[in-house]
Every structure is written in C-alpha cells, then in structure tokens.
Amino acid sequence: ALTAGIVGLPNVGKSTLFNAITQAGAESANYPFCTIDPNVGIVEVPDSRLRKLTELVQPKKTVPTAFEFTDIAGIVKGASKGEGLGNKFLSHIRQVDAICQVVRCFSDDNITHVSGKVDPIDDIEVINLELILADLESVDKRVDRVGKMAKQKDKDAMFEHEILSMLKEAFEAEKPARTVEFTEEQMKVVKSLHLLTIKPVLYVANVSEDEVANPSDNEYVKKVREYAANENAEVIVICAKIEEEIAELEGEEKEMFLSELGIAESGLDQLISASYKLLGLATYFTAGVQEVRAWTFRNGMKAPQCAGIIHTDFERGFIRAEIVSYDDLLAAGSHNAAKEAGKVRLEGKEYVVQDGDVIHFRFNV
C-alpha cells in the first residue's frame, strides 16, 4: 500500500498528530493486508458517498477504505551527514510515497523550539536542505558512472547525463527535484534515481487552539502558503492538540465538537484527503446487500487491475465490469432504476476506472 511519511523537527507537534492518527485508527480486522508496525497508523478515508450508498443499499456491513501514515522520527540539522538518526531517517523517507511535514506555527513560551524561535520557513528549509544534500550525493555518484560513458557518445548515457546536470543545478541552488520540469521521457529516468526531493510534499501547519478556526490570521501560515506555492507543495492547517481530542469522538459527538470549534472538517480528515490526492489516489465502490465498500486505486488503473485490488483471482479471471457512476446511481435511486435508465455499462479490459465508479466485477474462477 502507498504510505505518507510524517516528518518534522523536534517539538513541532508530530507525536501529537501521530497520536491522533492512531487514536482515530481504523478497525484493523477489516484491513488484514495493512502493515502492522507501531510506526504505522491506519486511518479510514472519510467519504460522504459511502454513507449515501449505505442508505441506498442497506447492506449488512459498510467498510471504508484505509490509508497508512508512517511516523518518521529523528530529523535534525546535519542528518545528511549522519547526525542524530540521520541515515536511518533518510532511509525511512526513501520508503514512503509522499511526505507530510509538520511545521510549527503555534507560539507557546512553555515549549522550546529547537532553534530558539518559531520560524516555519527556517524549519522547512532545514529539512529540505538535508534532503537536497542527500539527493546531491546520489546524483554525484551517478554522474561519476554515467559521465564516462557519455563522453564515449553512448546515447542513453548522454540522455541521463543531461538530466543529472539539471538536477545538480537545482540542488546547488537549494531547490528540490520536484521544482524541475521534466519531459515524460526524462521523468522515467528521474524516477529510477529514487530521489527524496521528487516525492510530493504536504506542509501541515500546526496552529494553536484559538487560531484553528481562522488560520488566515496567522502570519506564519501565510508564509508557509507562499513558500509552498513556489515549490509545488500543498498546505493544510491543523491544531494537533485539538486533533487528539477529536480523534476520541465519533459521529454526532464529533460533528458537534467541530461546529463548536467553527471548523467544517477535522484537520485529520483534511490531512487524509489531501494525502490521498497528493498520491494520485481515487476511490471506487462495490455495493452489495452483504457489504458496501470503498476501495482505493491509483488514477489511471484499468478495470482488471482494480479488480485485483479486491483479490488476485478477480484480476486473473476478469471478464467484464458492470459499472454505474455514483452520481447516476444516486440520481436513479436504485441499481434497477439505474439499469432501466441505461446508466449501467458493461466495460472490458481496457476501461480506465473513474473515481466514484460503483462496480460489479464478473470473473471466472
């Protein structure tokens, strides 16, 4: 499964946020294929469509889809030189698919800041620089190898050498790889380098309790937003401390608490949705009387691959998929009505599944 890693300097609220994640934790019996690891938190992906489908189909059971966050502790200045848990930290980041960086935007004199003052941009740059330096090292190593072959006019080597030069130039200007524009062909080579700074990034601005309803009043948040816009990253605002409390609540209680706070969606739910999008993930549904269920797939996946997410046998024996979009199903009011209205389609192997498709797979065993 794809996972987003939570990183941040000490005392910014990482553990508080990760506690909220594990507190809110998904019913693990439903997700036997998920990772069991104290550093991995599994959460349900909030999706209002699932509730509507449940009302419509009245199944015995409803199962949301899940998403994994990995807690990556141990970043300090100098990590790329092996300071602190440096190397371990970098190898953990290498394994995640996206990075959620918690940034301290709350002032609290009782809580020390590692560098003595609250300065979110400085914090972001400390971490980014460590990742950039680690990538620069990887690229330099690669240049040594490819450079010689490029001199002998080896076509592939020359192609890669040019990409490496573009990357090196960015890194030397302290810019992450994700800010460099590559063609599709170049991107294939870039991916093979397994760089840290090519991974999508989400900044999680952690504000104080009294600011979470109006985060735009917070000067730090403004700065983080400007910074992120310049480097192709996203921002969400949360109050980690409140998230810990929200995570203990469910249903109506949760909604009441949120409306008292003046926020529409909990920070954790925003974090889940944003990470999901960041990774290019989407949801399809299966809706039978036994079970209504949401499934995560990657944008661009075709019907047989999506069937394989449920069970490998479904992919191997795939015949066809009977599909109705969520909107059409809801408008029709029932599966039969949707069928009569001609909204249920039979799709084959080449069909690219869309977010919100309600699917019944037909397969041979």
Give whichever of 8 and 176 is closer to ligand GDP, judged by the CB atom.
8
Rounded CA gap, 312 and 308, in Å?
5
Question: Is 39 within any annotated ligand binding site?
Answer: no
Structure tokens of 223?
């700065």
d(C-alpha 221, C-alpha 195), whole Å: 28
Which 8-state DSSP code applies to residue 264? S
| Range 93-112, binding ligand GDP (CB under 6 A) | 106, 108, 111
Shortest gap between Cβ of 66 and ligand GDP (angstroms)?
A: 23
| The binder of ligand GDP chosen from 16, 39, 62, 186 (CB under 6 A) | 16
Distance between CA atoms of 166 and 180, rounded to whole angstroms?
Answer: 8
Closer to ligand GDP by CB, 68 or 243: give it: 243
Which 152-211 residues touch ligand GDP, going by CB under 6 A?
206, 208
Stretch that binds ligand GDP, among 7-15, 31-39, 90-98, 131-139 (CB under 6 A): 7-15
- The region of 3-11, 217-225, 250-258, 272-280 touching ligand GDP under the rule CB under 6 A is 3-11
Q: Which of 4, 5, 14, 202 binds ligand GDP (CB under 6 A)?
A: 14
Assess 11 for contact with ligand GDP (CB under 6 A): yes
Q: Does 87 bind ligand GDP (CB under 6 A)?
A: no
Q: Give the three-state DSSP class for 339.
A: helix
Q: Is 240 in the site for ligand GDP (CB under 6 A)?
A: yes
The token pair that represents 304 in the structure block: 């047989």
Tokens read off for 129:
């620089």
Member of 180, 239, 274, 323 binding ligand GDP (CB under 6 A): 239
For the chain, what's the residue count? 365
List the x/- string, 111-130, binding to ligand GDP by CB under 6 A: x-------------------
Is 127 in contact with 72 (CB distance < 8 Å)?
no
Stretch that binds ligand GDP, among 14-22, 332-340, 341-349, 350-358 (CB under 6 A): 14-22
Residues paired with 205 in a beta bridge: 103, 237
Q: What is the rounded (10 degree) CA torsion for 72, 279, 343, 57?
A: 10
Per rule CB under 6 A, count of chain residues that contact ligand GDP: 16
Separation of alpha carbons 148 and 110, rounded Å: 56
Q: In this structure, what token pair is assigned to residue 71?
A: 């807690």
Q: Annotated binding residue at 91?
A: no
Closest-CA residue to 15 (of 74, 78, 68): 74
Site residues (CB under 6 A) for ligand GDP? 8, 10-16, 106, 108, 111, 206, 208, 239-241
List the binding residues for ATP: 11-16
